[in-house]
Amino acid sequence: MTSVMQRSDAADRALRARAASVIPNGMYGHQSARMLPPEFPQFMVRGEGGRVWDADGNEYVDFMCSYGPIVLGHHHPKVDAAAAAQDQLGDCQNGPSPVMVELSELFVDTVGHADWTMMAKNGTDATTMCVTIARAATGKRKVLVARGAYHGAAPWCTPVKTGVTAEDRAHLVYFEWNDTESVRAAVEEHADDLAAIVVSPFKHDARVDQEMVDPVWARYLRQVCDDTGAARVLDDVRAGFRMAFGCSWDTIGVQPDLSAWGKAIANGHALGAVLGNDKFRDGASQVYVTGSFWFAAVPMAAAIATIHALRDEDALAAMERAGQRLRDGLAAQAASYGIGLRQTGPVTMPMVLFDDDPMFERANLWSGQAALRGAFLHPWHNWFTCAAHSDDDVDAALRATDGAFALVRARFGAD
């Protein structure tokens, strides 16, 4: 078993104490460490390639990649250089920079279904814009979504309904993932008022096994939208550029009308985007959406450099290689300890869950102990690989998980 190095958490604890008085709960949202085992740090200081450091100087192999945005690795030199060069000129100005046109053209060239783009900041901006554009284009209201899917944190979609009114979700209709009959029932019930069907490229809900899309079902969704005029919306915010160099359903040859992007498109710079086809251009032309920082040039220059690097450096293959090495290593370790482990979803976005672990006690022990040993691995949210993950990074993470598996075995026994 790997020994746990001498690690301090004094700086993190001091920061948490200060934060408790000036931030509700000390922190909020998806990066709140209250949702993680106590061994995880709350505050992070820096990153480099596939590694990150917390406020106490502890180093981690980073398989969360900032919950997705870091796709090429922290401080990718070409992205950093492009961002710095643009920043010397201007960022947030009285109008967009020429780089907005360049990026839009690059998106349209890169993503098969895209004839046009609109930029924003949050992934939630992008999914909300897709819904608004679909309603504008169709004149209809109902939006079909998979039950339990995450499409952002605005009142219409946030997973916690506190502070949200019933009317915020009045026109949402739920179906079950990969289930044709539940879609058919929803479509039939709302045939006269169908604006959009919104799905992620695969089922990547928190706390449950991930599930790839059934291509037959995906084609059925496409057909329903062709028949009814509703918008096929692909929420590619989380998966975008980690399944294909293009939109994620290029892998199965099914094109959406609108796609929502965010996270990885600028390697950590704040940028969301909606891509659409000509059928929905008029709808997109009619809505009013904007934001103080939406047209800032630095994230767009970073996105151009990111997309070029994704292509030129065969980044997806690098992410897949790292993910496969990690998956193989974890499977071998789990087997050697006699522990039942389920690894689901694309290897670039793995969900790793323990058998017989409804309260995540195994996952919490294991991920906390892995963190103490220098691997940042979430207990119930999918992970992310990046193109900077080397064999050494994967192997270092596996040394950490080996020690963690041993403790799970000691506490819970073999399955």
Site for its own copies in 98-127 (CB under 8 A): 98, 100-101, 104-105, 107-108, 115-118, 121-125
Q: What gap in Å lies between CA 228 and CA 5, rounded to an integer?
A: 60
Question: Residues 2, 37, 49, 64: which binds its own copies (CB under 8 A)?
Answer: 64
Give me the sign of the Cα torsion angle 156, 161, 163, 169: positive
389 binds its own copies (CB under 8 A): no
Question: Which window, 16-24, 221-229, 248-256, 387-395, contacts its own copies (CB under 8 A)?
Answer: 16-24
Sequence-ordered list of residues with C-beta below 8 angstroms from that of 61, at least 6 positions apart, any chain: 50, 51, 374, 375, 376, 389, 393, 394, 396, 397, 400
Question: Which window, 228-236, 250-258, 288-296, 401-409, contacts its own copies (CB under 8 A)?
Answer: 288-296
Question: Residues 38, 57, 77, 159: which binds its own copies (CB under 8 A)?
Answer: 159
Query: Which CB, 278 or 392, lies closer to its own copies?
Result: 278
57 binds its own copies (CB under 8 A): no
246 binds its own copies (CB under 8 A): no
User: In degrees, to the nearest 5, what angle opens at C-alpha 305 toward C-alphas 300 and 45?
Assistant: 80
Shortest reach from residue 151's CB to its own copies, in Å: 13
Q: At 53, phi and psi to the nearest 5? A: -130, 140
Interface with its own copies in residues 28-47 (CB under 8 A): 28-31, 33, 41-47
Query: Which CB, 156 or 366, lies closer to its own copies?
Result: 156
| CA proximity to 346, closest of 212, 150, 209, 217 | 212
Interface with its own copies in residues 312-331 (CB under 8 A): none
Shortest reach from residue 16's CB to its own copies, in Å: 9
Shortest reach from residue 404's CB to its own copies, in Å: 18
| CA proximity to 354, closest of 377, 380, 332 | 380
Query: Which CB, 52 or 406, lies closer to its own copies?
Result: 52
Instruction: Name the residue with tokens 């053209």.
Output: 105
Shortest reach from residue 340's CB to its own copies, in Å: 27
Residue spans of beta strands (DSSP E) within 115-204: 116-120, 142-146, 172-175, 194-199
Question: Residues 76, 190, 203, 269: which binds its own copies (CB under 8 A)?
Answer: 269
Query: Which CB, 141 or 399, lies closer to its own copies?
Result: 141
Interface with its own copies in residues 182-241 (CB under 8 A): 237
Sequence-ordered list of residues with C-beta below 8 angstroms from that of 65, at least 6 positions apart, any chain: 71, 383, 384, 385, 386
Query: Which CB, 305 or 334, lies closer to its own copies?
Result: 305
CA dist list (Å): 318 to 106, 262, 335, 393: 22, 21, 26, 12
Size of the site for its own copies (CB under 8 A): 108
Interface with its own copies in residues 162-191 (CB under 8 A): 162-165, 167-168, 170-171
Q: Which two tokens stand for residue 184?
A: 């058919």
364 binds its own copies (CB under 8 A): no
Shortest reach from residue 8's CB to its own copies, in Å: 15
Sequence-ordered list of residues with C-beta below 8 angstroms from that of 255, at least 6 positions apart, any chain: 112, 113, 222, 232, 247, 249, 277
